[in-house]
Structure formats: C-alpha cells, structure tokens
Amino acid sequence: MDPFRTLRGFRDILSPETDILSYIENTAKEIFKLYAYNEIRIPSVEMTELFVKSTGDTTDIVEKEMYSFNDAGKRNISLRPEGTPGVARAFVQHKLNLSGKNSKFFYIGNMFRAERPQAGRFREFEHIGIEYLGNPSASADAETIILLMALLKKTGVKDYFAEINSLGCGDCREKYKKELLEYLKNNASRLCEWCQNRIEKNPLRALDCKIDGSKLSIEAPKLKLCEDCSLHFEKVKELLKIAEIDFKINKSLVRGLDYYTRTVFEVKSSALGSQNAIAAGGRYDKLIKSMGGQDTPAVGWALGADRLAMLIKDNISLKSNAPDIFVICADKSSFTESFKILNNLRNNGISADFSNFELSLRSQMRSADKSGATIALIMGEEELKNSSCSIKFLKHAEDDKGKQEQIPLNELLEKTKNILNTENRIND
C-alpha cells in the first residue's frame, strides 16, 4: 500500500520550526500580559452563516476560500478562516459586555482557507490576534497598534513598517460608495470580470482586487472623511507619534473585509513583497450590533505566525532542545540502576535522555554523541559494584573531550549539577 501523505496545501511542522513558533507564541503572551489582554479560545468550527455575515459575503475569503460542508445534522458549517467572527460571537453569546471586566482578548489558533496552494501559503495556518471591545476612543486604536509593534520588536524581526488609513464611518462611506460606483461604472471595461460582477454590491472591494486594485487605488476618487472621523484619525496619529511608532499613511489601504470602519492598518515587511502583510487589522464598530449584540465599538488585528516565523528564523538563536545528560547502560545487570538514574535526574529538574539500554555500549555512545548532550553517565557492572557512575564529557573544550571520571551515586545529583553549570558557561 502507498503510505499516507498530508493533504494538498497542508503540512507537518517539525523542530526547529515548531520551536520558532513556540518562541513567537510565548513572546506574544508576555506582551499581552503587559497590556492586560486575556486569552480566549474559540471553536475551530462555526456555522457558515457567522462568517458570511461578519467577514462578508463578497469577500474573497467567504466567496472562494472557505472550508464549508454539511454535518450529519445537515447544518452548513465552516472551518474558521479568521478569529474575529468567533470572538465577536462569543462576546454576544456570553454577554461579556456585562461582565464588568475589560473586554480585551487575545487568541492563538489555527485558521483554514482553501486557497490555491502556493509557495509559503498553506491551507491551515496560525493566527495570533487581539480584539479590544467597548472602547470607541482613538486610544484603543493606538494601543492595539503600539502593542503589535512592541510584539514584533520583541521577536527580533527586522525591516517591518506600519501603514495606516481611515475608511471613515458609515456616513463617509455611503457618500464615497456612490462616487466610487459612478467612477467604476464609467470605467467598467477596464475592470476584471470578478469586479464587474460585484461593483454594484460592494464597489469598495474593487480597490482591494488583486488584479485591478493597485491601478484603481491611484486613479479612482479618494474617500473624504467627515469631521468626526477626521478628528479620530488625527488623534490616532498623534498617539502613535507620542509612542514613537513609525508609520506611513497609505490612502489605498482598504482591507479586504466588510466589517472595518475608521482606522485600518497593516504591518508589512520588505522581505515579504508588497502583497504580504505580517499582520493586519482595524476598527469594526458595527460588527457586534450586526450580530445581534449591543452597539459595541471594537478594534483588533491578526498576525500570521507562520510568516513571522519565516522572517525571523535566520536571525534568532534559540536555546537548544538537546538534553543535558545522556544515560548509558553498559551491561544488562545495570539496567534497573540506569533506569533509576534517568528518572532521578528528570525528577530533579535535569533534562536527560537515553536510547535503548539493551543495545551495545558502542551504539548507545553513538546516540549520546548525536544527542547534543553535555555529558554521558555510564552504568556498568563495575560502577554498580562501587555504587558509582562514570561521567564522560561529550562536548568539553577540545583537550578534555572524552575525559572520563567516576563519582559516587549518592553525590551524583550535586556533582552533575555543578558540572552542567560549568560546562554550559564554557559552551555559551
């Protein structure tokens, strides 16, 4: 039989890539704590209707990229393509606006999009995101952006920059939509087929089109903000400057999702090319109400953890996963004692590994060398008789490499701890 393989567009992630992802997640959690965000875990599967209503039925995500299917109860359900709809649903479902706590959430989880597989893009990928609900003020927009930039800085990524824009409120947008629609109709012959079919329903989407978006955003009429929206945007910019955040205004930044109002932003890296943001987000003041909740302003973003991992993998050095000690059993009579030593080390906080105590000494030594451990502890007939254990240095400074000495078993923990402290200092 042919061996099983991953589905097209899916992948296994192995160490060291998994270590880099864990590093990013842990760094993010440290920053979330500084900014007082609480973790929320939402289901991977929701009613398809949730995404249609929130992400938007004319978005690429919902129209082309959703993993939707009918379950045994004939309900149409979908794997989540992004986190915000689920968090918004949870907020409404559990009436979190009445909890008295701040409504600042972070999530870390896998998302699914049935995109055409291409280099560096997968159908299952990780998002790290935040949602700040209940604060209409520009300080909330600014906080989420400042947090994002602090997180990225802490991960050690280089050459990234923030772009921001304001899409205005419903009022500014209605006016603009009419103006834009007229322009698009007059220029319909220059639009791609996709855009021609949907401009009536959502003319803004054309600006975000991968085919005609970039030329349209230069030539088409620009959105004019109403006074309130303009003040809000000015305040966001002022607060970002106070926080010493570098950003650019990008008037053609529209974001591909329906729920955004006012501030939208993206963080890009020159290393990823123009289409690829590391993180993106914005304000979505109308979403919670449109999902049956109370009128609740909100702002948030999501970061592509896999993309960030790709960017930092060459410029960070993570602590190695190698065990400190490799335990070797030199003959069958020492099997039990060797196994006890192994457990004892681990119970005392020392990382230790072994291969197979029944294999030859040579073979176990080979595994010890490959393991990256600092020292090997060897138990054999003679050691057993003396109630001692042999220590072999595996990666000591050249002249001492291979040096072997015996230590009594009752001093083993103390001695190995001392040795590891010294050795780790030498090798760092």
At 54, the amino acid letter reads: S
Q: Is 169 an interacting residue with respect to Zn ion (CB under 5 A)?
A: yes
In the complex, minimum distance from the CB of residue 179 to Zn ion, in angstroms, rounded to a whole number? 14
* Smaller CB separation from Zn ion, 137 or 344: 137
Q: Are 228 and 127 a contacting pair, CB within 8 Å?
A: no
State yes or no: residue 180 binds Zn ion (CB under 5 A).
no
CB of 44 to Zn ion, least distance (A): 31
| Residue 211 binds Zn ion (CB under 5 A) | yes
Q: Least distance in Å: CB of 170 to Zn ion? A: 7
Q: Segment near Zn ion (CB under 5 A), from 181-189, 202-210, 321-329, 418-426?
A: 202-210
Among 143, 212, 258, 423, binds Zn ion (CB under 5 A): 212
What does the per-residue mask of binding to Zn ion show for 226-265, with x meaning CB under 5 A? x--x------------------------------------
Contact (CB, 8 A) for 310 and 120: yes
| Shortest separation between residue 41's beta carbon and Zn ion, angstroms | 35
The alpha carbon dihedral of 114, 115, 119, 124 has a sign of: negative
Name the one range near Zn ion by CB under 5 A: 87-95, 169-177, 287-295, 331-339: 169-177
Shortest reach from residue 109's CB to Zn ion, in Å:
31
Distance separating alpha carbons of residues 78 and 47, to the nearest angstrom: 6
Choices 115-123, 220-228, 296-304, 317-325 (CB under 5 A): range interacting with Zn ion: 220-228
Closer CB to Zn ion, residue 42 or residue 169?
169
Closest CA to 184 of 217, 226, 136, 231: 217
In the list 62, 209, 342, 412, the residue contacting Zn ion (rule: CB under 5 A) is 209
Residue 92 CB, nearest approach to Zn ion (Å): 25
The reply to whether 168 sits near Zn ion by the rule CB under 5 A is yes
Closest to Zn ion by CB, 172 vs 368, is: 172
Within 204-362, strands assigned E span 247-249, 261-269, 277-283, 298-304, 325-329, 352-353
Question: Do residues 301 and 179 touch, judged by C-beta distance below 8 A?
Answer: no
Of the candidates 315, 300, 328, 207, which has an alpha carbon nearest to the alpha carbon of residue 269? 315
Element (H, E) at 133: strand 124-133
Residue placing its CB nearer to Zn ion in the complex, 64 or 403: 64
* Nearer Cβ to Zn ion (82/285): 285
Stretch that binds Zn ion, among 88-96, 133-141, 164-172, 291-299 (CB under 5 A): 164-172
Shortest spacing between CB 120 and Zn ion, in angstroms: 23
Give the shortest CB-52-to-Zn ion separation in angstroms.
Answer: 21
Which C-beta is closer to Zn ion: that of 151 or that of 191?
Answer: 191
End-to-end CA distance of the chain: 48
Structure tokens, 308: 């960030």
Helices (H) and strands (E) in the chain, counts: 15, 16
| Beta strands 352-353 and 325-329, pairing class | parallel
Strand order in the sheet with 298-304: 38-39, 103-112, 124-133, 298-304, 277-283, 261-269, 160-166, 247-249
205 or 307: CB nearest Zn ion: 205
28 binds Zn ion (CB under 5 A): no
Residues across the chain: 428
Beta carbon nearer to Zn ion, 162 or 169: 169
| Sheet (strand 352-353) strand order | 352-353, 325-329, 375-379, 388-393, 404-408
Residues that bind Zn ion (CB under 5 A): 168-169, 171-172, 192, 194-195, 209, 211-212, 226, 229
